[in-house]
């Protein structure tokens, strides 16, 4: 079977975005390397690319934070990209603050026309990213791992974000009502029941989507797609997801409604629901060592994350019919020379377009003759014709 076509970003244009007053840069290769000192805008560049897809980008920043500052105030900003991907051939996506509009508002354009929703973009573009902040995933709290998982699910099931948002909104309203009841002695029980019904419906849908993705990722990881990287196994710790293994969704919803109704006093004292999909956690295991990721070395943890990201990219390619963009910020940090070469070999074999950043251009030596290289300086990106050639080549 032929590999799926790659989604290719062939040109990026920025205006007053973060540290870039203005930038127009073409990309001609399937692997793009950007090197430069800390603070010159390498991550800003990847963030701009991530914002051409649905969502809030790899930093999760608010729209008002993205404009370049002038006298302390954010300027209106814009980012646009030209893409090549079957079956649409070339198309343009743009995003930014509307002309004359508030800095908090963000709009999208597809081939110059305003889009009705971000779902229109989800049909054509997808990105997978790995950032240095994700290196702390194994030490941070369950909420960080849950957000990581939800982002992976959303890339394959765009409606998942709505389910999670609806669940969290209903839960927040229920928490406020329970706090009010504790202060004043009584609230409308029908209102609480309606919120618990919404929590059950949306929460079970979110848990089912998480459970489905973890299962598919484990199958892909077990298939050896990650090459020289250690096999990882993911385990979803979620009572709701576990219940779905034995019972139909409607029965699980009914049990959740009953449990929340019976536990209102306990939840009021705790300041929130003590059980539900919002308590889910995602755990990683280094399969060859049968060792939890939290106990692995920093290099092993980075290798496990890379394995999961590569497997996720393969799932997107299979499900969407095109390989996503890979945005890998400082990806070679904490990898030894052997693992770096394994990563570069895996990227060269994938149909996806990959953007890599690093402070030291020399670590990208194995990509000489394959990658297109740039050097980042404050506000600029210039071609780097001096990417070192590997010894013996």
Summarize the annotated binding site for ATP as residue ranges.
36-43
The two tokens of residue 156 are 């394959």
Detail the DSSP E strand segments found in 45-136. Answer: 69-70, 73-74, 78-85, 89-96, 107-110, 113-114, 127-130
C-alpha distances (whole Å) from 237 to each of 11, 56, 165, 208 are 42, 27, 20, 13
Residue 87: asked if its preceding bond is cis (omega within 30°), the reply is yes
- Element of type H or E holding 10: strand 8-17
Q: What is the SS3 assignment for 179-210?
A: HHHHHHCCCCHHHHHHHHHHHHHHHHHHHHHH
Write out the binding residues. 36-43
Q: Are 67 and 76 in contact (CB under 8 A)?
A: yes
Give 56's DSSP letter: S
Give the span between the Cα atoms of 189 and 170, in whole angstroms.
Answer: 15
Kindly report the backbone phi and psi dihedral angles of residue 130, in degrees, each rounded to the nearest multiple of 5, phi listed first. Answer: -140, 125
Give the span between the Cα atoms of 122 and 145, in whole angstroms.
Answer: 23
Give 382's DSSP letter: E
């Amino acid at each position: 079977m032929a590999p799926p076509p790659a989604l290719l970003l062939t040109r990026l244009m920025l205006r007053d975005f973060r540290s870039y007053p203005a930038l127009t840069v073409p990309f001609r290769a399937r692997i793009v390397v950007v090197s430069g000192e800390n603070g010159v805008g390498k991550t800003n560049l990847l963030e701009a690319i991530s914002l051409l897809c649905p969502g809030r980008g790899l930093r999760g920043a608010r729209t008002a934070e993205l404009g370049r500052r002038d006298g302390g105030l954010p300027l209106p900003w814009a980012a646009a990209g030209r893409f090549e991907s079957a079956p649409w051939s070339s198309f343009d996506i743009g995003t930014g603050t509307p002309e004359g509009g508030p800095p908090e508002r963000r709009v999208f354009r597809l081939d110059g026309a305003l889009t009705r929703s971000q779902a229109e973009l989800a049909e054509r573009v997808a990105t997978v990213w790995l950032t240095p902040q994700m290196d702390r995933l194994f030490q941070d709290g369950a909420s960080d791992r849950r957000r990581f998982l939800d982002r992976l699910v959303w890339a394959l099931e765009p409606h998942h974000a709505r389910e999670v948002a609806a669940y969290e909104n209903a839960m927040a309203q229920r928490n406020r009502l329970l706090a009010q009841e504790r202060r004043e002695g009584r609230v409308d029980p029908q209102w609480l029941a309606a919120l618990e019904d919404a929590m059950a419906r949306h929460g079970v849908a979110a848990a089912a989507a998480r459970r489905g993705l973890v299962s598919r990722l484990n199958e892909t990881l077990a298939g050896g797609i990650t090459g020289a990287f250690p096999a990882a196994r993911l385990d979803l710790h979620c009572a709701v997801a576990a219940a779905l293994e034995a019972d139909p969704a409607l029965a699980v919803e009914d049990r959740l409604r009953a449990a929340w109704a019976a536990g209102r006093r306990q939840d009021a004292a705790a300041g929130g629901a003590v059980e539900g999909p919002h308590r889910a956690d995602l755990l990683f295991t280094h399969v060859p060592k049968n060792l939890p990721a939290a106990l692995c070395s920093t290099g092993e943890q980075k290798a496990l994350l890379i394995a999961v990201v590569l497997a996720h990219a393969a799932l997107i390619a299979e499900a969407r019919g095109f390989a996503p963009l890979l945005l890998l910020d400082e990806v070679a940090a904490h990898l030894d020379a052997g693992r770096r070469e394994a990563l570069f070999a895996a990227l060269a074999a994938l149909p996806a377009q990959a953007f890599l950043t690093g402070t030291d251009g020399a670590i990208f030596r194995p990509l000489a003759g394959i990658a297109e290289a740039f050097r980042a300086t404050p506000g600029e990106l210039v071609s780097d014709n001096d990417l070192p050639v590997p010894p013996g080549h």
